[in-house]
Amino acid sequence: MNKTLLFTLPFLSVLFLSTFASAMPYKPDVFCRRQGHQVKENRVCYFGNNQSCDLKRFYNGSCGQEFRQELPCRQQGESVYSQFESCCSGLKAAQPTSNWPFGGLVVMGPKKCYPQHEVFLHNHFWSLVVTCLISVGAIATLFWKQR
């Protein structure tokens, strides 16, 4: 196999996989804060009155049941963690993307609530199109050089 192809395929694979990269905060941390409690550096959710739970145990429901409450729905543009909350009526969760380098190749953070008619714009369709075009161009260039 051509040496150039051996170096190009891993690069294209990384480029393709980077379209799905995500920078997600620690969910139990977010859950504790959204419940109105405080999080300290030692991964503990503090409820007040010297009461607390380990973040994971509070998130999983094995501790602090009396301090859990139903969360209100998330409004347009707000981040949403579908594991424990949802968007308000008429909104749908979608993954926001960056505008660089090719109009949304990198997924940025948690899902956000968008009007249902705008959700297609925030999905990965264009990221995949651009990645495929780059891949086809790179492979075509390799085959052209081999001639």
Confidence (pTM): 0.58
pLDDT tens-digit readout, 64-97 = 999 999 999 999 989 898 888 999 999 988 877 6
Q: What angle do CA 38, 43, 44 make, to 5 degrees?
A: 50
CA 92 to chain centre: 15
93 contacts 112 by C-beta, under 8 angstroms: yes
Query: What percentage of residues in the chain have a pLDDT greater than 70?
Result: 66
pLDDT tens-digit readout, 103-115 = 444 556 788 898 8
Domain chopping of the chain, boundaries? 26-69
Q: What span, in angstroms and rounded, lies between the C-alpha atoms of 56 and 42?
A: 12
Please tell me the predicted confidence (pLDDT) of residue 22.
45
Residue (of 74, 64, 70, 130) closest to 97 by Cα position: 130
pLDDT tens-digit readout, 20-54 = 444 456 789 999 999 999 998 789 999 988 899 99
Please tell me the predicted confidence (pLDDT) of residue 19.
46
Q: What span, in angstroms and rounded, lies between the C-alpha atoms of 48 and 38?
A: 8
Residue with structure tokens 């294209």? Answer: 12
56: left (phi over 0), alpha (psi -120 to 50) or beta: alpha
